[in-house]
Structure 1
């Protein structure tokens, strides 16, 4: 009995020390972007756990100092619509499910590479995924127009590093390292497609053991994505910030996902509304054609109406509102959602 009691005390002490260690590790991370003094709507859980991508600071800091700034674009106190720019500590906000299904999804919100949308294409999707067993990681990536040394590859560097870190820490999240997928929206859809086609590109120097792991996602879901950097299909704002207004044809091709599909690309789920007045639907059609040419699995859904940037909230009441369930059903066929 004494031995058992001692063992129980030792187990309790070990668990307590582990909890303290994890808490200290969590406290050491950069907090999620927040509007100073901004009131948050009741009942919507906000992420408290984050993972910094670069423990010694992000590489290639701009010559001109950046200040992380969060804007609240909503006038409705019950619906937040935040956007962040000037990101110098790229990081992931974590949404843990109550019952993990072993799959993870890296979410890359949109924002035209001008900023990163927090709620509409980030946290709202993170909550939806976590409620269905997926561990979701919302990525706050660096922006290519803010002077980073990596230039147009800076966001891809963060996405590659994020996938590798999720795999490296898979046990911490009850995640199968082989089932780490990617989902992105608009310009974040470009980043998602860029990751899923140029996962093997060397965009930064390795810094630790995580960087020995693959950055290839299990599968990819670019939603109403920016794909082409060439007119007339290119989204002008994203193109200007990513490759510059005077980009050469070679520079455009280097950052147009449909021009860079490898033979070992992962399966893709593609979704677009045909009345999208910001990012032409042909972006998705170009990517689909390139994937089919390489015999890569690609499921494509086109909706007559939906516009751009519908995410979850703006899809309600329209036929396009079924898209998350379509993705989930497709994910089962890939082995992501078992």
Structure 2
């Protein structure tokens, strides 16, 4: 179902609080909702395509397991989860959705709550979708990811984080956003706007969880591929948007998670990226599980060995010095 205005506001994704200045942070009640939300772009900088209107759709009938998605995103933003005692670490999360929508709970708010409880300041990224008619649509997810990295670093003192300890994580199509940032963090996909854009968009560490990566039709997630680069891309376009073909020695360390029985996004996406990362001499830690299928997040791992994955990620964040306490 599509939620109305009242439900939209209660779901923590409505317009900024009345009376707040443009770009000002607005606060929310505690719980499985953000503590604040900030826009990525100054007011009026981006103009949504005609007729585009955001909608939240609830995909679950279980009141204890909300599974919402946000589609037709017009206001790319960061929803912030602040711990009571920040440990200086920050993680930006890009949920998946096949470039058709962005998942809210399963790959966003749930992991944000888990990390927040451990002292990490978490930013859930709601990025624009390439199939929604934006100018240069193939680059808008990466532009939003770059801008998110820069804004988080600019806000470091305000949010109590270390700007040199900012990790980025992505799930499924959000993993394609993440791995594009991994290899193209300094690509000129938008014109600089303000002081934030003088800062680096390179993450200090990056995690990709059952990620869409390659645009090679032999292994690509077909829906994500068509949304991102069209139905009939030429070879150069296919290569540009395939992160495993653009690895570089100065990209951040990588953490990968995938289930071997994933029938939606083939594990070959992670395997190819792992091999390419090793070829350029960058650290890559990968965890592959026999079972888990696709889109398990935190909510669909009960009774499976893959349920341990958040602790494995936590250990890696500590080993990379993103988390120090």
Same fold, judged at TM 0.5 (above):
yes
- Answer yes or no: is the 8 Å Cα contact 1:60–1:149 preserved in 2: no
Deviation >6 Å, runs of 4+: none
Q: Which residue of 2 aligns with 1:12?
A: none
Q: Which residue of 2 aligns with 1:135?
A: 121
- Find the partner of 1:261 among 231, 247, 267: 247
Assess, with a 3 A threshold, how the Cα gap between structure 1 residues 307 and 99 changes in structure 2: closer, same or farther.
same
Q: Which residue of 1 aligns with 2:316?
A: 330
Q: Which residue of 2 aligns with 1:220?
A: 206
1:318 partnered with 2:293: no
Assess, with a 3 A threshold, how the Cα gap between structure 1 residues 29 and 144 changes in structure 2: closer, same or farther.
farther
Of 47-56 and 168-177, deviating more is 47-56
Q: CA RMSD in A?
A: 1.8
1:168 partnered with 2:161: no
Q: Give the distance between the partners of 1:57 and 1:285, measured in 2 at CA.
A: 41
SS at 1:166 equivalent = helix
- Find the partner of 1:72 among 45, 58, 73: 58
Task: Give the CA deviation at 1:177.
Answer: 0.4
Q: Which residue of 2 aligns with 1:52?
A: 39
TM-score when normalising by structure 1? 0.87
1:211 partnered with 2:170: no
Assess, with a 3 A threshold, how the Cα gap between structure 1 residues 175 and 30 changes in structure 2: closer, same or farther.
closer
Write out aligned runs for 1:145-224 (5 A).
Answer: 145-224=131-210
Q: Give the distance between the partners of 2:272 and 2:26, measured in 1 at CA.
A: 38
- Answer yes or no: is the 8 Å Cα contact 1:30–1:89 preserved in 2: no
Task: Give the CA deviation at 1:194.
Answer: 0.7
TM-score when normalising by structure 2? 0.90
Q: Give the distance between the partners of 2:314 and 2:147, measured in 1 at CA.
A: 25
Q: Give the distance between the partners of 2:208 and 2:215, measured in 1 at CA.
A: 16
Q: Give the distance between the partners of 2:282 and 2:24, measured in 1 at CA.
A: 41
Q: Which residue of 2 aligns with 1:294?
A: 280
- 1:157-203 deviation digits (Å, cap 9, x = unpaired): 00000000000010111100011110010000110111111001011
SS at 2:93 equivalent = strand
- Answer yes or no: is the 8 Å Cα contact 1:73–1:83 preserved in 2: yes
Q: Give the distance between the partners of 1:215 and 1:282, measured in 2 at CA.
A: 27
Q: Give the distance between the partners of 1:101 and 1:168, measured in 2 at CA.
A: 18
Q: Give the distance between the partners of 2:64 and 2:317, measured in 1 at CA.
A: 32
Q: Give the distance between the partners of 2:189 and 2:121, measured in 1 at CA.
A: 26
- 1:271-310 deviation digits (Å, cap 9, x = unpaired): 1000000000000000001100000000011101110000
- Find the partner of 1:307 among 274, 293, 302: 293
Q: Give the distance between the partners of 1:88 and 1:115, measured in 2 at CA.
A: 12
Aligned length: 305
Q: Give the distance between the partners of 2:129 and 2:26, measured in 1 at CA.
A: 18
Task: Give the CA deviation at 1:316.
Answer: 2.0
Q: Give the distance between the partners of 1:290 and 1:134, measured in 2 at CA.
A: 30
What residue ranges of structure 2 are gaps of 5+ in the alignment? 1-18
SS at 1:314 equivalent = coil
SS at 2:300 equivalent = helix
Assess, with a 3 A threshold, how the Cα gap between structure 1 residues 67 and 99 changes in structure 2: closer, same or farther.
same
Which protein has the bigger helix share?
Answer: 1
What residue ranges of structure 1 are gaps of 5+ in the alignment? 1-22, 33-42
Q: Give the distance between the partners of 1:25 and 1:126, measured in 2 at CA.
A: 26
Q: Give the distance between the partners of 1:46 and 1:57, measured in 2 at CA.
A: 27
Task: Give the CA deviation at 1:44.
Answer: 4.5
Q: Which residue of 2 aligns with 1:4?
A: none
